[in-house]
């Protein structure tokens, strides 16, 4: 438990963190990687270059300070981050290293304003939060290893099939090299894939949603090849997977993780909304619902740039034709072909959403690029859909909707 004095001091820094948070976290990562370059393998370098990782950490530190007197308020976020940490292989010994460089960054950016009293208070608070992460991650690691078919750390999988789904998305069907059973997972969860690129000193780890229903003898990930665009560099790992990983190649996977999952015990209709490669967890959910809940109404909405960028369309349409409770709608920003082959030209909007979704009394799940997710979230809020019915997943560092 933190003392009242520590809580008061931390609270007093909230306005400062609101202004200087991003500068502090940028300084932190630079210092951390200079001292421990081996930790670079746990981070997406493109997210670092674009400032996404720094912004996510700044938001987390700000939230911790804001709620320091009732840390239970941020436990859901702690669990979400802990899921990612467990999947990436974060260890208890990493936390003192992070704490040292985070406190150092606060001191560097704030200078004399970061008094010894403030640094000591933040050191105490960091220790409490770090211990919460360590405890949750230990429990998650035990659960992952001890479940039927589970394992700890990373496990070798062979690419059994490589399937081109669209101009930019390719699926990889992965089976364990040792031939032993694999862990079950909840639709919406992801795995971490560890890649070694010849000639590079450190491995790379990326997280990809599982794009098929559980209960199969394989895992499937569907990866978008990320090209360079404006300030965004090309995706090093996505391009490596597309260009160099073939059937027979071996990839190393962590056990499934993540808390973006279909809620159990919910009987309301389901609306699945995806943009671009955000359809991967949605298809996992759709495949599952089609078989396990035949009486539950499901509306699947996918937005793509055009027909060539639309992955798994034929698969979803076949599911819809075979299951009366399913319906699907396509929205293309810049369609190339016959208007009869899609349902909306341009971007999603609330009037159209209302026209295809039977009722707002449903559970909404969505995933895609952050601007797309902000737009969908705004529509649902405008429609007065309650927060408890809104579920979403960020690919990469958490952002703000």
Burial zone of 281 (CB within 10 Å; 0-12 exposed, 13-18 middle, 19+ buried): buried
Q: What is the CATH number of domain 4-146?
A: 1.10.490.10
Q: Which class does domain 270-393 fall in?
A: alpha beta
Encode 360-398: b = buried (16+ Cβ within 10 Å), e = exposed.
bebbbbbbbebebbebbbebbeeeebeeebbbbbbbbbb
d(CA 86, CA 252): 15
Q: What is the pLDDT of residue 62?
A: 84
Q: Is 316 annotated as a binding residue?
A: no
**Model pLDDT, residue 279:** 96
One of 95, 126, 173, 365 is an active-site residue; which one?
Answer: 95
Tokens of 242: 């597309």
Write out the H or E segment, with its range, that includes residue 271: strand 270-275
Closest by CA to 330, choosing from 302, 360, 358, is 302
Domain segments of the chain as ranges = 4-146, 155-253, 270-393
| Tens digit of pLDDT at every position of the chain (401 positions) | 788 999 999 999 999 888 998 999 999 999 999 999 888 877 776 666 767 787 778 888 888 888 888 888 888 888 888 999 999 999 999 999 999 999 999 999 999 999 999 999 999 999 988 998 999 999 999 999 999 999 999 999 999 999 999 999 999 999 999 999 999 999 999 999 999 998 888 888 999 999 999 999 999 999 999 887 777 778 889 999 999 999 999 999 999 999 999 887 788 999 999 999 999 999 999 999 999 999 899 999 999 999 999 999 999 999 999 999 999 999 999 999 899 899 999 999 999 999 999 899 999 999 999 999 999 999 999 999 999 999 998 876 666 66
Starting at the edge strand found earlier in the chain, the sheet holding 204-209 runs: 204-209, 190-195, 250-253, 155-164, 169-176, 219-224
33 is in an annotated binding site: no
Inter-residue contact 149 to 180 (CB < 8 Å): yes
pTM score, whole prediction: 0.91
- Do the annotations mark residue 280 as ligand-binding? yes
Ligand-binding site membership of 396 (annotated): yes
pLDDT at 73: 82
Check whether 277 is labelled as a binding-site residue: yes
The answer to whether domain 155-253 has CATH 2.60.120.10 is: no
As to burial, measured by CB atoms within 10 angstroms (0-12 exposed, 13-18 middle, 19+ buried), residue 231 is exposed
**Is residue 242 annotated as involved in ligand binding?**
no
Look up residue 205 and give its two tokens: 């780890």
Residue for token digits 């996404």?
52
Q: Let me know if 219 is a catalytic residue.
A: no
Q: Are 17 and 62 in contact (CB under 8 A)?
A: yes
Distances (CA, A) of 282 to 87, 127, 164, 279, 310: 21, 37, 18, 5, 14
| Residue 115 is labelled as binding a ligand | no
Are the folds of 4-146 and 270-393 the same? no
SS3 content of the chain, % helix, strand, coil (to 5): 50, 20, 35
- 185 marked as binding residue: no
Q: What is the C-alpha separation between 379 and 383, in angstroms, rounded?
A: 6
Q: Does 152 count as an annotated binding residue?
A: no
Active-site hit among 29, 62, 126, 137: 137
137 is an active site residue = yes
């Amino acid at each position: 438990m933190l003392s009242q004095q520590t809580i008061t001091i931390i609270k007093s820094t909230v306005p400062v963190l609101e202004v200087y948070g991003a500068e502090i976290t940028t300084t932190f990562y630079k210092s951390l990687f200079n001292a421990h370059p081996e930790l670079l393998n746990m981070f997406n370098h493109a997210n670092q270059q674009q400032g996404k990782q720094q912004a996510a950490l700044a938001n987390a530190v700000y939230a911790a300070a804001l709620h320091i007197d009732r840390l239970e308020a941020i436990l859901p976020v702690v669990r979400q981050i802990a899921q990612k940490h467990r999947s990436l292989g974060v260890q208890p010994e990493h936390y003192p290293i992070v704490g040292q460089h985070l406190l150092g960054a606060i001191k560097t950016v704030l200078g004399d304003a970061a008094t010894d009293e403030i640094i000591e208070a933040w050191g105490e608070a960091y220790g409490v939060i770090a211990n919460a992460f360590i405890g949750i991650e230990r429990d998650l690691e035990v659960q992952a290893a001890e479940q039927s078919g589970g394992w700890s750390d990373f496990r070798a999988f062979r690419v059994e099939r490589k399937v081109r789904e669209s101009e930019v998305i390719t699926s990889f069907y992965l089976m364990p090299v040792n031939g032993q059973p694999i862990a079950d997972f909840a639709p919406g969860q992801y795995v971490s894939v560890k890649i070694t690129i010849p000639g590079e000193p450190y491995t790379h780890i990326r997280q990809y949603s599982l794009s098929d229903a559980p209960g199969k003898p394989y895992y499937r990930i569907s990866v978008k090849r990320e090209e360079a665009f404006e300030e965004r560099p090309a995706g090093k790992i996505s391009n490596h997977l597309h260009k160099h990983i073939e059937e027979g190649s071996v990839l190393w996977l962590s056990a499934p993780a993540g808390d973006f999952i279909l809620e159990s015990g919910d009987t309301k209709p389901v609306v699945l909304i995806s943009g671009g490669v955000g359809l991967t967890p949605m298809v996992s959910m759709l495949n599952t619902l089609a078989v396990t809940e035949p009486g539950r109404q499901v509306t699947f909405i996918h937005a793509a740039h055009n027909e060539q960028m639309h992955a798994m369309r034929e698969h979803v349409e076949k599911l819809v034709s075979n299951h009366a409770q399913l319906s699907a709608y396509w929205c293309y920003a810049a369609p190339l072909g016959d208007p009869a082959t899609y349902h909306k030209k341009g971007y999603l909007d609330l009037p159209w959403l209302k026209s295809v979704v039977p009722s707002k009394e449903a559970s909404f799940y969505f995933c895609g690029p952050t601007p797309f997710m902000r737009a969908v979230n705004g529509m649902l809020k405008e429609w007065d859909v309650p927060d408890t019915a809104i579920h979403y997943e960020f690919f990469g560092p958490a952002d703000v909707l």
